[in-house]
Amino acid sequence: MTATRVLVLNSGSSSVKYQLLDMGDGSRLAAGLVERIGERTSRLKHSPLAAGGDERETTGPIADHEAALKAVAQELAEDGLGLDSPELAAIGHRVVHGGKRFTRPTVVDDAVLAEIERLIPVAPLHNPANLTGIRTAQELRPDLPQVAVFDTAFHTTMPEAAARYAIDVETADKHRVRRYGFHGTSHAYVSREAARLLGRDPGDVNLIVLHLGNGASASAVEGGRCVDTSMGLTPLEGLVMGTRSGDVDPAVIFHLARVGGMSTDEIDTLLNKRSGLVGLCGDNDMREIRRRIDEGGEDAARARLAFDIYIHRLRKYIGAYYAVLGRVDAVVFTAGVGENSAPVREAAVAGLEGLGLAVDDGLNAARSGGPRLISPPDARVAVAVVPTDEELEIANQTYALVRDGGA
Ligand code: AMP
């Protein structure tokens, strides 16, 4: 029997998301999420996609990631998809920070684990959880290849001119301060799918990819290679996000410390958790913000301001990446906001006919689960909506590596 199944694990600090896919026929066998790990009210939601039946939800304390993965394994076993199955080819792990070294998916060994650990200072929130997920999976199936798929990998092709901050070189190198970029798995998947939608070879097209979810990033992709992206040393730089500020003058931080008396940790929390849309208007969900604007009245003003700031920043990045690329074949929207919010897409390119950019109102308003063009048929630059699928991309990369003998 050929092993064709891949389990994809995305381990956060207090959550684990998972999907089991069969790469033989591309089907999704099961998916789910464990939340609030370490609390008394942990919750496991499991969708038995292949086995059929309703989503199962269990609540109760799940102490740590090991207990969480064991609970997931049990749910899968109930569907006849246990982790002991010989059909399981590998486990693919999302790892947020791969630094400069990891330019592609990598089979995990002790040296790889040590390097992911060495990168904790530049990804203190994410890499420790990712490591725990890998180590726990290794304990459950020590014989199976564990593959790390890095959020930063797609961006390692950025030229130095885009990847370096203009600060003292020795200090930057000593502390590994440079622009790494994130959401790379999504940008890679969406770029390829966008080229397919255009009926072109990925190597022949230049794209501006806008991943607009709760976190948000833009990238400039030239012939399938990333040449610039909006997130930097950490996922804080760039676009306005659900709770993150994106770009600010770095002196804002000194000012808040010196004049506002805030500690570094307080400023970190402010910029990462209490800024962006939520800081501007109290809501980080674009649906809610649009509802407030559409209903009008007093409550609408702050929502409108938040929307305008979000769009202003987005348009600045579209313009910047247009200049970085020189020639643009398509602007591509993806992730929660990008896939679902017609008003955001419309406002992002409004008045940019001079750059060849426009959306067709009917196409933009239509809802569809698949990749689609929303620009008028005669547009010089295509505007597209391409749903992202990071789990599928992680599974594809994991399976390709294992099948081709990388393991
Ligand atoms: P993601 O991080 O990709 O899961 O995106 C989550 C975000 O997508 C939410 O916080 C919302 O702002 C946004 N979103 C999801 N569904 C919609 C929708 N139907 N319309 C507008 N925004 C949406």
Q: Where are the beta strands (DSSP E) in 280-381?
A: 330-334, 372-373
Q: What's the 335 CA to ligand 1 centre distance in angstroms?
A: 7
Q: What's the 343 CA to ligand 1 centre distance in angstroms?
A: 13
24 among annotated binding-site residues? no
- Output the DSSP codes for 204-220: G-EEEEEEESSSEEEEE
67's enclosing H/E stretch is helix 65-78
Question: Is-same-fold flag (5-150; 200-390)?
Answer: yes
The domain ranges of the chain are 5-150, 200-390
Check 22, 151, 283, 389 and give the catalytic one: 151
Contact 102, 150 (CB under 8 A): yes
Task: Verify whether ligand 1 is closer than 6 Å to residue 242 (CB atom).
Answer: yes
- pLDDT tens digits for 210-246? 999 999 999 999 999 999 999 999 999 999 999 999 9
Task: Verify whether ligand 1 is closer than 6 Å to residue 214 (CB atom).
Answer: yes
- pLDDT tens digits for 156-184? 999 999 999 999 999 999 999 999 999 99
Task: Verify whether ligand 1 is closer than 6 Å to residue 243 (CB atom).
Answer: no
Decide which of 3.30.420.40, 3.30.70.2860, 3.40.50.1000, 3.60.9.10 is the CATH code for 200-390.
3.30.420.40
CATH topology of domain 5-150: Nucleotidyltransferase; domain 5 (3.30.420)
Q: What's the 156 CA to ligand 1 centre distance in angstroms?
A: 28
CA distance linking residue 407 with residue 398, whole number of Å: 10
Mutate to test the pocket of ligand 1, among 214, 385, 391 (most ligand atoms within 8 A of CB): 214
Q: Report residue 66's pLDDT band, with 50, 70 and 90 as the boundaries.
A: confident
> Is 308 considered catalytic here?
no
Task: Verify whether ligand 1 is closer than 6 Å to residue 226 (CB atom).
Answer: no
Predicted model pTM: 0.94
